[in-house]
Chains A and B, each alone.
Chain A
Amino acid sequence: MEPISDPRGLRRTARPASLAAAVLTAVLLVLLTATGARAATVPGDAWVRAGHLVPGLQAMDVTATPAGGGTTVDLALGAGYGDVAPYQRLAPGAYTAEVRPAGAARTSAPVLSSTFTAEAGKAYTLAGLGSLQAPRLATLQDDLTPPPAGQVRVRVLPAASAAPAVTVTARNGPVIADGAAFGQPTAYASVPAGQWVLETAAAGLPAATATVDLAAGGVYTLVVVDAGGALGVRAVTDAAGAAAMPVGGAQTGGGGTATATSVTGTRPEFAPVVAGAALLLLAAALVRRRVHGRTA
């Protein structure tokens, strides 16, 4: 592409015009590509919860404090081993999470702490994991990807000290986790929705069963805990969605109020395109004026 200052262009006023058009087109394409690639996100708060999954550790309080200062949020108060507190809504941003014995002063040194960044519309579980000797506070991002129609997504949090590894199987159904290591969350697996008897097995321990209702479109976490020398399983709901999602958008208008172009003006994602185009138009006009000025 020739620079605008190319002397030959000074005598051929058509050239700056076509050049401007080419630049305009290129910029429009770039902007369109950029805006088109932007993934849709849910506006609003992030969803954050805390869980106590360290066997033998006393009941704990879990707090989150905005990194830039601000009000401390109690994510869990007096959470005992095996408890996963309900989600709370936090403004998107960076936080420091701290774990203290239940009732301990907020000014006291935390037993565990970590930092995490919460994004709008996303979900996180701050999980105390590991053994009493080596506990840690992990930030798990809870997957809100929709399961296939009629299915659910399930992961396992193995937190029973009696079992170095556990296998969770849906009776007459799929294996949900095979040999999942203590303290290590598994990835989410897709499972047909419905009522399942879950069998949790570990070497040297009697198998534990739990009956769970898994609603289509939902996301779940199965927490495996020590239960009186055996294994216990708790099903925790991470999220719920539509059992089967409609295809595409909705035809919700008859056009009776539509103007020649639009009922809502500029589509938001095109705003930068229009702004950019306006600037280019202005630039093109200025260039033209300069060119005309020199050739006159």
Chain B
Amino acid sequence: MRPPRAAALLAAALVLAGCAATRSPASDAPASGPSSTAAAPTAVASSPAAAPASPGGAPAAIPAPGEGSVPVPAGGPRAVDAGSVPVRLQVPAAGIDVPLIDLGVAGDGTLEVPADYQQVGWFDGGPPPGDVGPAVVAGHVDSKSGPAPFFRLRDLAAGDEVRITRADGAVVVFHVDGVEQYAKDAFPTATVYGPVPGPALRLLTCGGSFDRSSGHYRDNVVVYAS
């Protein structure tokens, strides 16, 4: 009987198809530690004199000793009030209740991810949750040995509630609009980080198959909420 051969052929075709859309990322994750300075409020307009360079969107290379001397990008750092910085994330439907750290951009230009697999962080180069625009929160799906806080992120469905507590105590409630999965080499940067007319949230983690040679997953899972 031939069907087994046909099945093998099919399987091979699918595997090829799956691999064709991926890349082998050069960098090793997690690459750099969390940035610790973004909580410092910087107001572009109101306090120009009191604004030492804050790495809002332009973080240091991997070792952090020289953070204060990092040049500020054109246009200056985003003005974020200290009270707006998110400190806690709760997603009951995915069993998530974690404190939040701040994340910037890694030395290679990619999103900085938590050095500790069990930590979850907010991208401080974008709007804080509750402000107009897309707040981005990233966490690991797993560590090298087991599940991480965003392990069940992919199970979320439209309508599920996401709560974020800010430093000023305000709780911002979002509802999931949808869950999408993208190959990392086809990551929709503009869709995830680009301008949004109202408060929005994106939760990022990994998904798809794991590339043992690079030590990374091939896909990202993005939860859109607003």
| Chain A residues at the B interface, C-beta cutoff of 8 Å | 13, 17, 20-21, 24-25, 28, 32, 36, 40-45, 47, 49, 87, 89, 121, 123, 142, 144-147, 149-153, 192-195, 213, 215-219, 237-258, 261-264, 267-270, 273-274, 277, 281, 284-285, 288
Residues of B within 8 A of A249 (CB): 110-111, 182, 184-185, 187, 204, 219-220
Q: Return the contact of B113 from the options A17, A252, A255 (Cβ within 8 A).
A: A252
Is B110 a contact of A285 with CB atoms below 8 Å?
Answer: no
Instruction: Given contacts A43-B178, A251-B28, A267-B183, list 8 more A-B pairs with CB under 8 A.
Output: A144-B194, A144-B195, A243-B73, A246-B189, A248-B187, A261-B209, A263-B217, A277-B14
B226: A residues at CB distance < 8 A: 44-45, 89
In contact, B138 and A250 (Cβ under 8 angstroms): yes
* A248 lies within 8 A of B177 (CB): no
Q: In whole angstroms, how far apart are the Cα atoms of A268 and B183 in the complex? A: 11
Which A-B residue pairs are the 7 nearest by beta carbons? A251-B29, A43-B178, A193-B75, A44-B177, A240-B133, A40-B188, A253-B206
B74 within 8 A of A: yes
Is the beta-carbon distance between B206 and A251 smaller than 8 angstroms? yes
Q: How far is the CA of A147 from the CA of B148 in the complex (A)?
A: 34
- A263 CA to B205 CA in the complex, in Å? 12
CB distance from A46 to the nearest CB of B (A): 10
| Complex contact B177–A146 (CB within 8 A) | no
With beta carbons under 8 angstroms apart, the residue of B188, B198, B215 that contacts A47 is B198
Bound: A258/B198 CA distance, A? 36
Contact of A285 among B6, B77, B177, B181 (CB under 8 A): B6
B109 near A257 with CB under 8 A, answer no
Nearest CB of chain B from residue A12's CB, rounded to whole Å: 13
With A17-B2, A238-B195 as contacts: A248 and B110 at CB distance below 8 Å = yes
Q: Does B69 contact A (CB under 8 A)?
A: no
Q: Number of A-B pairs whose CB atoms are under 8 Å?
A: 296
What is the interface residue range for chain B against chain A?
A: 35 or more
What residues of B have a CB within 8 angstroms of the CB of A150 in the complex?
A: 73-75
| Alpha-carbon gap, A251 to B208, bound state (A) | 12
B140 and A215 contact, CB distance less than 8 A: no
Of the stretches B82-90, B92-100, B124-132, B163-171, the one at the interface is B124-132
Q: Contact partner of A244 among B28, B105, B146, B215, CB < 8 A?
A: B105
A247-B108, A256-B146 as given contacts; A239 in contact with B196, CB under 8 Å:
yes
Q: A218 CA to B125 CA in the complex, in Å?
A: 13
Point out the residue from B13, B30, B44, B148 that lies within 8 Å of A213, measured CB to CB: B44
Contact between B198 and A245, CB atoms less than 8 A apart: no
**What separation, in Å, do the CA atoms of A152 and B195 have in the docked complex?**
10
Q: Which residues of B lie under 8 Å from residue A217 when comparing CB positions? A: 78, 126, 133, 195
Provide the residues of chain A in CB contact with B58, threshold 8 Å: 244
What's the minimum C-beta distance from B164 to chain A, rounded to whole angstroms? 17
Which residue on B lies nearest to A47, using beta carbons? B197
CB distance from B40 to the nearest CB of A (A): 16
Known: A255-B142, A267-B219, A268-B180. A146 touches B77 (CB 8 A): no
B125→A40 contact, CB < 8 A: no
Q: Decide if B142 touches A241 in the complex (CB within 8 Å).
A: no
Which residues of B (112-157) have their CB < 8 Å from a CB of A?
112-113, 117, 123, 125-127, 131-134, 136, 138-148, 150-151, 154
Partner of B110, one of A47, A251, A269, A273: A251
Q: Is there an interface contact between A239 and B195, defined as CB atoms closer than 8 Å? A: yes
Q: Which has the most chain A C-beta neighbours within 10 Å: B189, B197, B212?
A: B197
Q: How far is the CA of A243 from the CA of B42 in the complex (A)?
A: 14
Given contacts A193-B76, A241-B196, contact A246 B123 (CB under 8 A): yes
Q: Is B45 an interface residue (CB 8 A)?
A: yes
Contact B76 A194 (CB under 8 A): yes
Q: How far is the CA of A153 from the CA of B194 in the complex (A)?
A: 12
User: Residue on A with the closest CB to B13?
Assistant: A28
